[in-house]
Structure 1
Amino acid sequence: MASTTSGDVLPSGGSIFTSIPDLFFIPEFVCGGLVWMLVASTDLFPSSNPMGWVMFVSVFCFVVTTVWFFIFLCGANQGSIWPSLDVGYHFVAVVFYLSAAVQLAYVTVQLGQVVTVLDFLKIYRLDIAAVVMSFVATLLYFLHTIFSALRWKRS
């Protein structure tokens, strides 16, 4: 009777571009990088603004996803612990991005109520784009978590 090892479950090398959960790496890079750039290009208003948390989440997830991508690309993910680590990291990323997106949306709504000057309108539009991208990044990380969990259950 043949046994299935977790090394057979996780792709490595170029095959990560053909497996369903790992196809989300590139869109996660793009959306996370856009959140990072959009939030960094806005002005910071000092009254209890969560932009620091949003920046931490976007930079943290961008860097860790980059490292994660290269680990998968180099094939260093063939141990038995990697499927559960994959699910765990992407779940943490979902929770982080969801909390950052909700806080960013709240601040953007508050900013939208006081937009009167043309300069604030530009910041408001950048914040709206950042909110949209952060929710898209949350969705991508959520889908990656779900498909990674299904892969983990198969291993």
Structure 2
Amino acid sequence: MASSSHSLPSGGNVFTTIPDIFFIPEFVFGGLVWTLLASTTIMVNPTGYVMFVSLFCFVMTTIWMLIFVCGCNQRSNWPTLDVAYHFLASLLYLSSSVVLAYFILVLQTAISGTEISKLLIAAVVMSYLATLCYFLHAIFSAIRWKSC
């Protein structure tokens, strides 16, 4: 059985490796999405879906990062799981970003120029930035997975 010369980082090294340094902006942008949505008074199905995605990814990323920091990620299947999780999270965030942007376009005449429209637009921007961070994390994790 071939042994891997590359192992996943653990402890403080998690915050120094290229794919895993994206944990920090994922937290920031993901947290801003659900904070901005929670600040609005509009709570209908599209914003509920975006809220679900942002909270789900925030909680799962927290658990994922804790697994990495504690060093429980040293088995051979963890690089594959890392790629799969971050790719799934990027797809979820992309779908929620598109849904929220479309929702704003539909409501444009009703909420134009209000504080709610500014919060929703900021939530869309943060959601797309979170999508980008998760996607880049998935790409760099895939590169690491291929090298293992």
Which bracket does the TM-score occupy, shorter chain normalised? over 0.9
Cα distance in 2 for partners of 1:9, 1:147 equals 14
Structure 1 runs (4+) deviating above 4 angstroms are none
Provide, for residues 35-85 of structure 1, a one-character-per-residue CA deviation record: whole Å limited to 9, x for no partner.
Answer: 010111112255xx4111101100000000000000000100000110000
Q: What is the 5 A alignment of 1:1-155?
A: 3-5=2-4, 8-44=6-42, 46=44, 49-115=45-111, 121-155=114-148
Q: CA deviation at 1:115?
A: 2.9
Count of residues in Structure 1 that have an aligned counterpart in Structure 2:
147
Identity %: 61
Q: CA deviation at 1:97?
A: 0.2
Q: Which has the larger radius of gyration?
A: 1
Provide, for residues 90-119 of structure 1, a one-character-per-residue CA deviation record: whole Å limited to 9, x for no partner.
Answer: 011011000000000011122222236x7x
Cα distance in 2 for partners of 1:133, 1:115 equals 19
TM-score (norm: length of structure 2): 0.94
The gaps in structure 2 that reach 5 residues or longer are none
TM-score (norm: length of structure 1): 0.90
